[in-house]
């Protein structure tokens, strides 16, 4: 009987050691699983933080691009508006200058020198018989002086399209028109003045 009890004690001791071993292995495995879970959690959190940072950075970059694009548009519009204002002011200044020139021409056409100017202008064109000379209605009073300067008989006609003065010479047989009006000369001078001073090229 005592031998049996000893065997039971031995077996109980073995069983207890086995249970302790199992418990230790279980604890070890549990700790391993928990450790892996923590590592995974840290990795997931790290990835999430990096993803959040990437999203935030991309959002910031997009915002910067939008702000910059808006700024560029605002600056471009301001520059364009400024250039338009300068062009407008320059155009007004040119018109004012040539309007003053027109007034001086009108004053000149009221002087005796104007009749001499018309006669000299006609003579310089080497007009031949068959030509028609067109004048402003108010300049028809100078026909005699012009005719005398030419020394030939030509036809004179009124032309209300001539506003400032000068003459137009028309050859009906050749359908040829020579425009020597002050109107055309002033228009050409204004165009040349604008081109020479580059009033538009530097603002395009």
Which residues have CB under 8 Å from 186's CB, separation 6+? 98, 101, 102, 105, 164
List, for residues 4-23, the tens digit of each pLDDT value.
Answer: 445 556 666 776 776 667 66
Residue 40 lies in a domain: no
**pLDDT score for 22:** 63
The count of structural domains within the chain is: 1
- Cα–Cα distances (Å) from 116 to 146, 163, 165, 166, 175, in that order, read 8, 19, 13, 11, 28
Helix 112-123 vs helix 2-108: angle between axes, to the nearest 10 degrees?
100
Residue 42 lies in a domain: no
Residue 199 lies in a domain: yes
Integer Cα distance of 105 and 16 in angstroms: 131
Q: What token pair was written down for 91?
A: 């155009």
Instruction: State if pTM tops 0.75.
Output: no
CATH at residue 140: 3.30.2320.30
Beta bridge partners of 179: 168
- Strand 132-135 and strand 155-158: the pairing is parallel
List, for residues 177-199, the tens digit of each pLDDT value.
Answer: 999 999 999 999 999 988 887 55
For residue 170, the enclosing domain spans 109-203
Residue 124 lies in a domain: yes
List, for residues 153-171, the tens digit of each pLDDT value.
Answer: 899 999 999 999 999 999 9
What is the percent of the chain with per-residue pLDDT over 70, rounded to a whole number? 77
Least confident of 43-57, 121-135, 155-169: 43-57
């Amino acid at each position: 009987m005592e031998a049996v009890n000893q065997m039971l004690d031995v077996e109980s001791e073995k069983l207890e050691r086995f249970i302790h071993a199992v418990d230790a292995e279980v604890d070890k495995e549990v700790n391993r699983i928990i450790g892996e879970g923590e590592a995974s959690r840290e990795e997931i959190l790290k990835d999430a933080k990096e993803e959040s940072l990437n999203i935030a950075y991309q959002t910031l970059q997009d915002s910067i691009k939008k702000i910059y694009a808006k700024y560029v548009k605002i600056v471009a519009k301001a520059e364009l508006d400024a250039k338009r204002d300068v062009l407008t002011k320059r155009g007004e200044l040119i018109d004012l200058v040539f309007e003053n020139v027109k007034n001086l021409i009108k004053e000149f056409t009221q002087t005796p020198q104007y009749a001499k100017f018309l006669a000299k202008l006609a003579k310089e064109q080497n007009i031949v018989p068959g030509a028609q000379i067109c004048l402003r209605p108010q300049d028809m009073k100078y026909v005699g002086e012009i005719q005398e300067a030419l020394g030939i008989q030509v036809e004179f006609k009124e032309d209300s399209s001539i506003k400032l003065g000068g003459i137009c010479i028309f050859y009906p047989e050749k359908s040829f028109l020579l425009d020597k009006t002050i109107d055309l000369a002033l228009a050409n001078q204004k165009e040349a003045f604008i081109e020479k001073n580059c009033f538009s090229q530097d603002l395009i």
